[in-house]
Amino acid sequence: MSANIRNKVLIIFAHPALYKSRINMELVKEVEGLDGVTFRDLYDEYPDFLIDVKKEQESLRENDLLVLLHPFYWYGCPAIVKEWVDLVLEYGFAYGRGGDALIGKKIMSAIATGGTEDDYKRDGMHYYSVREFLNPFERTATFCGMQYLPPFVVHGAINMKMEDIAVYKSLFGQIIKALRDGEMDLAELQGFKYINDYFLEKYKSWSI
Partner 1 sequence: MEYDSFLFQAFIYLVAAIVSVPIAKRLGLGSVLGYLIAGVIIGPYVLRLIASVGDVMHFAEFGVVLMLFLIGLELQPSRLWKLKGPIIGLGGLQVFTSAVVIGAIAYTIGFGWRISLTIGLILALSSTAIVLQTLSEKGLMNSEGGRSSFSVLLFQDIAVIPMLALIPLLAMSGAGFSGLEMEAGHADSAVEALPGWQQALIVTALIVTIIIAGRFLARYAFRFIAETRLREMFTAFALFLVIGIALSMQLVGLSPALGTFLAGVVLAESEYRHELESDIEPFKGLLLGLFFISVGASIDFNLFMQEPYLILGLVLVLVSIKLVILFILGVVFKMNMSQNFLYSFSLAQGGEFGFVLFSFATQNNVIPAEISGTLILVIALSMMMTPIMMIINELLIQPHFKSFGEKRDPDEIDEKNPVIIAGFGRFGQIVGRLLHANNIGTTVLDYKPSQIDMVRRFGYKVFYGDASRLELLESAGAAEAKLFILAVDDKDKAIEIAKTLKKHFPGLQIIARSFDRRHTYDLMAAGVEVIERETFASAIELGESALKMLGFHGYQAHRAAITFKHHDEKHLMELYEVLESEDENTFIEMTKEKNQDLIDLLKSDQKDIEEEADHAWERPSEFKK
Q: Establish if 19 lies at the interface with partner 1 (CB under 8 A).
A: yes
* Helical spans, DSSP H, in 40-161: 42-45, 53-62, 79-88, 130-133, 135-143
Distances (CA, A) of 38 to 58, 64, 97, 133, 150: 12, 11, 28, 27, 21
**Beta carbon nearer to partner 1, 48 or 163:** 48
Helix axes 162-180, 195-202, angle to 10 degrees: 80
* DSSP-derived 3-state class of residue 78: coil
Q: Phi, psi (5° rounding) for residue 123? A: -100, 5
Q: Which of 2, 6, 17, 62 binds partner 1 (CB under 8 A)?
A: 17
- Three-state DSSP at 70 gives strand
Choose the stretch contacting partner 1; rule: CB under 8 A; options: 59-67, 71-79, 98-106, 119-127.
71-79
CA distance 96 to 73: 30
Closer CB to partner 1, residue 114 or residue 124? 114
The interface with partner 1 within residues 95-134 (CB under 8 A) comprises 114
Find, among 15, 105, 96, 95, the residue nearest to 59 by Cα.
Answer: 105
The window from 12-20, 55-63, 100-108, 136-144 that contacts partner 1 (CB under 8 A) reads 12-20
201 is a site residue for partner 1 (CB under 8 A)? no
* Binding segment toward partner 1, per CB under 8 A, in 41-49, 134-142, 165-173, 193-201: 41-49
The answer to whether residue 158 forms part of the interface with partner 1 (CB under 8 A) is yes
Question: Does position 166 bind partner 1 by CB under 8 A?
Answer: no
CA terminus-to-terminus distance, the chain: 30
Q: Which of 39, 73, 128, 148 binds partner 1 (CB under 8 A)?
A: 73
- Report how far residue 14's alpha carbon sits from residue 43's, in angstroms, rounded to the nearest whole number: 6
Q: Is 164 in the site for partner 1 (CB under 8 A)?
A: no
Near partner 1 by CB under 8 A: residue from 8, 16, 116, 194: 16
> Which one of 13, 43, 95, 137 is in contact with partner 1 (CB under 8 A)?
43
Residues that bind partner 1 (CB under 8 A): 15-20, 41, 43-48, 71, 73, 78, 114, 158-159
